[in-house]
Amino acid sequence: MPDPHGIVLHGPNATRRTDYLYRVSLKCLIRNEQGEVLVVKETGRHWWDLPGGGMDHGESIATAIAREMKEEVNMEGDFTFRILDVDEPALLSPQNFWQLRLVFAVTPERMVFSAGDDGDKIAFMSPSAFKGSEIATEKRIFDYAALAGL
């Protein structure tokens, strides 16, 4: 049974190792014809990030991407995606859980976006705008864009 920190204990006489659970976060890199990337300031946050979020139990990757992109940037319609990066697991201290972040290059059928229910502000910005950021999340936008060949 999992505890609040994602530790699955198998009992005092168990012979198997303890299991640790991770929250899976999906982030999506969408670029326009100018090579800019779509970024979002999620509700209640003051920094830019790629749109995306937590994958729910039972969701496929495509379903999770579609749901998160609708929630943050009102993306609708078909899209293709490919994996760009898998970050090292990290402890999110304020929430006290471990997260594994998967980053996808996403190519939507329609390039129509607006701030969604979970996004306060969206923009297409040059990845180089984030290269020197002191905010780790913003700095990673530049790194992911480099992996995508931007």
**40: confidence class by pLDDT, cuts 50, 70, 90:** very high
Please state, in angstroms and as integers, the Cα–Cα distance from residue 45 to each residue in 57, 120, 136, following that order. Answer: 25, 9, 14
Whether pLDDT at 44 is above 90: no
Whether pLDDT at 1 is above 50: no
Average pLDDT over residues 119-143: 94
**Residue with the two structure tokens 């659970």:** 21
**91: confidence class by pLDDT, cuts 50, 70, 90:** confident
pLDDT, residue 79, reads 98
Q: Considering only CA atoms, which of 129, 109, 111 is closest in space to residue 31?
A: 111
pLDDT, residue 13, reads 77
pTM of the model: 0.86
Average pLDDT over residues 14-35: 86
